[in-house]
């Protein structure tokens, strides 16, 4: 028998809020662990004494879930978490103990920081500073940085290595399902492996930017990458940056930010970065490429560049990296 733990909190001792949050926690425990109601042996529920308006067990029963329920009131303990609902779900399925996902939501995340997974989504156009900011945040917050752009660049590199035009979706379909792509963390940094070779430097060549933009238009590519990204983010706390992280990849991310800047400012940043690496780059051509990428990203049919409705927008045009990072951290508790 496997025990799956869960906990959440409410803001107010309100009937409707208790109902909503009780069901939210229960259903997330089921979905994230791929468990059916019939697989449950019993559900043990406890609440702190300040949850008085409604019983979570009743909320689950009223929702139509028919399973053994046991409910109790926790003793009052000084300095304990307030307005807390806890679950212990016992199941008799073949789920492996190391694959169990314990669920801690809202303020209850602080109960088990080693178990709670926190995701931060940074979206925005190319050159806004997302990657730099994400790396600093991951270091400051001691969580991983998942460079989603590197994944698309690797797929574009695979296409070019095969002699396939990145805009030709029919040809891209011939390899995308079996692409051998791995993300590994070595000495705290993300390394991208393609066909078991570390291509972390190869995918940063100037021509890979447009190739990645082109290949990311294809639905087959995005579905493959999104599936990989969701699996990684579900297992570990991380910062993710891209075009549609908060709006599509991880719509339930704990924190969402939309990082942008004027196109000329973004082009200048990219120009300085590439010239420092020894590349001979024409600024006007780079600006044109930036604007073309913006158009491609905003107008692709599937999962376009879009600011999530609940994302906080930050214009970095006239802010230093430190100012942007501090601004973002001011929102993260």
pLDDT at 78 > cutoff 90: no
The CATH architecture assigned to 2-110 reads 2-Layer Sandwich (3.30)
pTM to 2 decimal places: 0.60
Q: Please compute the mean of the pLDDT values over residues 69-91 and round it to a whole number.
A: 87
Per-residue pLDDT at 96 exceeds 90: no
- Can you tell me which residue has the tokens 């791995």? 182
At 149, the pLDDT band (50, 70, 90 cuts) reads confident
pLDDT category, 153, cuts 50, 70, 90? very high
| Section 231-252 average pLDDT | 88
Q: How confident is the model at residue 323 (pLDDT cuts 50, 70, 90)?
A: very high
Residue 79: the pLDDT is: 66
Q: What is the percent of the chain where pLDDT is above 70?
A: 97
pLDDT at 148: 86
- Per-residue pLDDT tens over the stretch 43-60: 999 999 999 999 999 999
Mutual angle of helices 148-161 and 169-176, in 10-degree steps: 100
Burial 5-41 (b: 16+ CB within 10 A, else e): bbbbbbeeeeeeebbebbbebbebbbebbebeeebbe
Pairing mode of beta strands 189-194, 181-186: antiparallel
- CA torsion sign for 269, 272, 275, 280 is positive
Q: Does position 328 have pLDDT exceeding 70, yes or no?
A: yes
Helices (H) and strands (E) in the chain, counts: 10, 13
For residue 314, what pLDDT band results from cuts at 50, 70 and 90? very high
Please give the pLDDT value at position 274.
87
Provide, for the chain, the percentages of residues in helix, strand and coil under a 3-state DSSP scheme, each rounded to the nearest 5: 45, 20, 35
| pLDDT attached to residue 113 | 56
- State mean pLDDT over 276-302: 86
Residue 115 scores a pLDDT above 70:
no
pLDDT of residue 141: 87
Instruction: Quote the tokens at residue 278.
Output: 């020894």
Domain assignments of the chain as residue spans, ordered by start: 2-110, 119-329
pLDDT tens for 15-37 read 999 999 999 999 999 999 999 99
Query: CATH classification of 119-329, choosing from 3.90.79.10, 2.40.290.10, 3.40.980.10, 3.40.50.300?
Result: 3.40.50.300
């Amino acid at each position: 028998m496997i025990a799956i733990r869960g906990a959440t909190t409410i803001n107010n001792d309100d009937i409707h809020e208790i109902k909503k949050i009780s069901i939210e926690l229960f259903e997330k425990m089921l979905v994230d662990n791929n468990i059916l109601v019939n697989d449950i042996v019993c559900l043990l529920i406890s609440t702190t004494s300040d949850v008085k308006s409604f019983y979570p067990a009743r909320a689950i029963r009223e929702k139509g879930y028919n399973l053994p329920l046991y409910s109790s009131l926790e003793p009052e303990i000084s300095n304990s978490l307030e307005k807390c609902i806890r679950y212990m779900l016992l199941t008799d399925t073949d789920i492996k103990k190391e694959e169990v996902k314990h669920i801690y939501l809202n303020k209850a995340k602080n109960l088990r920081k080693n178990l709670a997974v926190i995701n931060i989504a940074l979206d925005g156009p190319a050159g806004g500073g997302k990657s730099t900011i994400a790396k600093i945040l991951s270091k400051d917050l001691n969580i991983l940085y998942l460079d989603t752009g590197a994944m698309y660049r690797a797929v574009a590199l695979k296409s070019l290595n095969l002699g396939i035009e990145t805009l030709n979706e029919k040809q891209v379909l011939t390899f995308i399902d079996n692409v051998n792509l791995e993300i590994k963390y070595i000495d705290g940094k993300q390394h991208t492996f393609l066909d078991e070779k570390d291509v972390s430097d190869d995918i940063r060549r100037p021509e890979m930017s447009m190739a990645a933009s082109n290949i990311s238009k294809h639905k087959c590519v995005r579905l493959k990458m999104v599936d990989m990204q969701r699996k990684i983010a579900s297992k570990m706390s991380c910062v993710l940056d891209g075009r549609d992280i908060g709006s599509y990849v991880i719509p339930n991310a704990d924190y969402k930010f939309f990082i942008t800047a004027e196109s000329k400012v973004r082009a200048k940043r990219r120009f300085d970065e590439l010239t420092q690496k020894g590349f001979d780059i024409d600024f006007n051509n780079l600006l044109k490429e930036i604007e073309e990428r913006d158009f491609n990203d905003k107008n692709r049919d599937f999962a376009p560049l879009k600011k999530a409705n609940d994302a906080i927008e930050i214009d970095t045009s006239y802010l230093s990296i430190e100012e942007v990072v501090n601004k973002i951290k001011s929102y993260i508790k």
